[in-house]
């Protein structure tokens, strides 16, 4: 892991400057290779101590201070390393969750579009069921005109009418379910925006 992956140089510098301002802490932030990530005190020739910056259980850098600092300044340095670690962790979680959030949002929108397509197709099937009803009524009328010869045809026409009615009922139930799902998806999308 690299500290720059979690916090940009400006945020690091702002945190360090805040500790300089309120605690007088002369420090610099370094990465795992010891390269400075912030501007600050020049420790040439001085002995230094460092306080690890830990993100998600892994060391990603350190806060470096002069070893000659008093206890208060050393505590401030330790606090700075913890603040940087926690800030980096929060940034990492925020970035990771933002990507997931956007992905979920897109998936919900696609689901809404699919549900709308199902609703349209169901409407077409319902139209076919209506046409089947009309055809079965016409067949029943023609069977009645044919008298004895149309009795068998009348039974088929009646069965076709029953199937048409069952299909229409199923399509109506599907439409209601799709409408409920559509409303739910629209509510979720509205809450996510």
pLDDT at 64: 92
* Model-wide pTM > 0.75: no
pLDDT at 3: 80
pLDDT at 111: 84
Using alpha carbons, select from 14, 94, 81 the residue that is nearest to residue 51: 81
Could you tell me which residues are beta bridge partners of residue 55?
58
* Contact by Cβ (8 Å): 91, 83: no
pLDDT at 97: 67
Task: In whole angstroms, give the CA distance from residue 141 to residue 133.
Answer: 12
Percent with pLDDT over 70 in the chain? 97
Domains of the chain with bracketed CATH: 3-100 (3.30.450.40), 103-192 (1.10.287.950)
pLDDT at 193: 67
Residues of the chain predicted below pLDDT 50: none
pLDDT at 172: 83
* Contact by Cβ (8 Å): 35, 6: no
pLDDT at 27: 92
pLDDT tens, residue by residue, 130-157: 888 888 888 888 888 888 887 887 888 8
pLDDT at 83: 92
């Amino acid at each position: 892991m690299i500290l720059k992956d979690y916090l940009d140089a400006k945020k690091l510098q702002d945190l360090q400057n805040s500790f300089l301002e309120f605690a007088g802490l002369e420090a610099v932030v370094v990465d795992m290779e010891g390269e400075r990530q912030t501007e600050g005190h020049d420790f040439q020739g001085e002995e230094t101590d460092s306080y690890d910056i830990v993100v998600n259980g892994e060391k990603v850098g350190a806060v470096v201070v002069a070893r000659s600092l008093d206890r208060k300044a050393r505590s401030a340095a330790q606090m700075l390393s913890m603040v940087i670690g926690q800030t980096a962790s929060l940034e990492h979680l925020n970035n990771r969750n933002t990507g997931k959030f956007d992905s979920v949002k897109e998936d919900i929108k696609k689901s809404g579009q699919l549900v709308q397509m199902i609703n349209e197709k169901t409407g077409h099937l319902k139209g076919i069921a209506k046409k089947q009803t009309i055809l079965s009524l016409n067949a029943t009328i023609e069977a009645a005109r044919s008298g004895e010869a149309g009795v068998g045809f009348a039974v088929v026409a009646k069965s076709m009418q029953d199937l048409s009615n069952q299909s229409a009922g199923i399509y109506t139930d599907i439409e209601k379910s799709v409408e409920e799902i559509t409303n739910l998806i629209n509510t979720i999308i509205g809450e996510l925006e």
